[in-house]
Amino acid sequence: MKSGTDSNAVSGWAFFPVGMAAAIIAVVIVCIVGNIAGCDPAQDQDDTVLLVRDYPIFEQRTAHSEPLSMAQATQQAWEWVMTGTNSGEYHYYGYARGILDPWWDQNNVSSELRILRAVILQQQHLFDQALADLNQVIDSDPQNVQARFTRSAILFATGKLDAALLDCQRVFLKADPISVTLCVAPIKGLQGHAPVMIDKLNTLLAVSELASLQQREVHITLAELYWLQGNMAGAEKQFKQALNITPQHGYVVSQYSEFLLSLKRYNTLANFLQQQPPSIENQINLYYAQKEQSKPELSELKNTITENITTLTNTGDQKPALDNSRLLSLYHSRVENDSRAALLYARKNWDRQKGMIDTLLLMNAATKERDIRTIDKVSQWLEENLIQDQRLANYGAIDSE
């Protein structure tokens, strides 16, 4: 799928900008420490767009006439996953899923295939199933770096910060320092150690010879750490450096869009998104930015967004089922101005994943609806996990009447 095609707006895999830095870090770390030769992903040779529900069509996509062995299929599937991760176009995970179809439900598979299956499952937000695979690998090989980092990302995404940090630390001596720092930094940064983590990451940039995609991960992690501290100038500098490496990466675009929205820089955001692929999230944020500037003639864009949302949620027997709660919350909040529906979907999303963007989304929706119970629930979770994030200062303050 090429950037800018209309079909990008209705491709299920494109709707998951991962949602949290840790998920991207985990998959990129697989690239850094894995045994895929050169970690140079295959590139798409055509404009094929594959919806997730269509993945059996792509089963065993290969130049060979004979069926693939498990090892060959794993190799090709890894290449598709890396293509999706590095480009930010996550429909490539559907290709990987299709290639692995003969072994998808089998238990007697290699550790590498099990880890790969977990990576795909976590991208679909099927965290319990992903953890089951990773737990099996780690039970048999406690020092498996790929499994530890990937499980750490999932634990982080689901709000289990202490367990996520422990997985990073368990392979401290075996993994390379860059990967360990990228694994630890987002977690410890949230727990009051952002200045220390920022210093470590800046040192990595200064003294290490990093591959370009490693540089991107350092820059996006730095951007998030600066942002949670309230250092907007530092955050923007890092966002722009990450975008210089991959200008249309879905996760970086999503995070930078939220950053600009938090500053109410609607004109900058609109100009930025007009250069991006028309994913539903990008369309929603473009519509909101233009609406806040009182731009005329927005009905066509709104109709397009609504049609794409309808297509997304009316998928019949789509397999596997996708959870689009975060996207639906954004739609109801920023397009339909329906704060009640936005809150319901934000709650559902937060029950599944607890990245800080997900937490901010829920606190914003709960504050608008004056939902003190939800605010208290989130506040308790933040306190229990020792989370310190300046962005939360704007939410949850409800005056009693």
Cα separation, 24 vs 302, in Å, equals 30
Is 20 contained in some domain?
A: yes
pLDDT at position 322: 66
pLDDT at position 89: 67
Is 290 contained in some domain?
A: no
Is 347 contained in some domain?
A: yes
Cα separation, 133 vs 144, in Å, equals 13
The tally of domains found in the chain comes to 2
Q: Assign residue 160 the CATH number of its domain.
A: 1.25.40
Domain boundary among 129, 148, 175: 175
Domain boundary among 124, 148, 175: 175
Structural contact between residues 35 and 62, judged by C-beta atoms closer than 8 angstroms: no
Cα separation, 205 vs 105, in Å, equals 42
pLDDT at position 315: 60
Whole-prediction pTM:
0.82
Cα separation, 204 vs 300, in Å, equals 47
Is 353 contained in some domain?
A: yes
Would you write out the chain's pLDDT as a tens digit for each of its 401 residues? 333 333 332 322 222 333 333 333 333 334 433 443 333 333 332 322 223 333 333 444 444 457 888 899 899 998 888 887 766 667 788 889 899 999 999 999 999 999 999 999 988 889 999 999 999 999 999 999 999 999 999 999 999 999 999 999 999 888 888 999 999 999 999 999 999 999 999 999 998 888 888 899 999 999 999 999 999 999 999 999 999 999 988 889 999 999 999 999 999 999 999 999 898 999 999 999 999 999 988 999 999 999 999 988 876 555 545 678 999 999 999 999 999 999 999 999 999 999 999 999 999 999 999 999 999 999 999 999 999 999 988 665 544 33
Is 358 contained in some domain?
A: yes
- Give the pLDDT confidence of 145-171 residue by residue, as tens digits: 999 999 999 999 999 999 999 999 999
Main-chain phi, psi angles of 105, to 5 degrees: -100, 10
Is 295 contained in some domain?
A: no
pLDDT at position 88: 61
Domain boundary among 154, 175, 196: 175
- Give the pLDDT confidence of 105-129 residue by residue, as tens digits: 999 999 999 999 999 998 888 999 9
Query: Which domain covers residue 36, as residue numbers?
Result: 7-175
Cα separation, 6 vs 61, in Å, equals 24
Is 116 contained in some domain?
A: yes
Is 339 contained in some domain?
A: yes
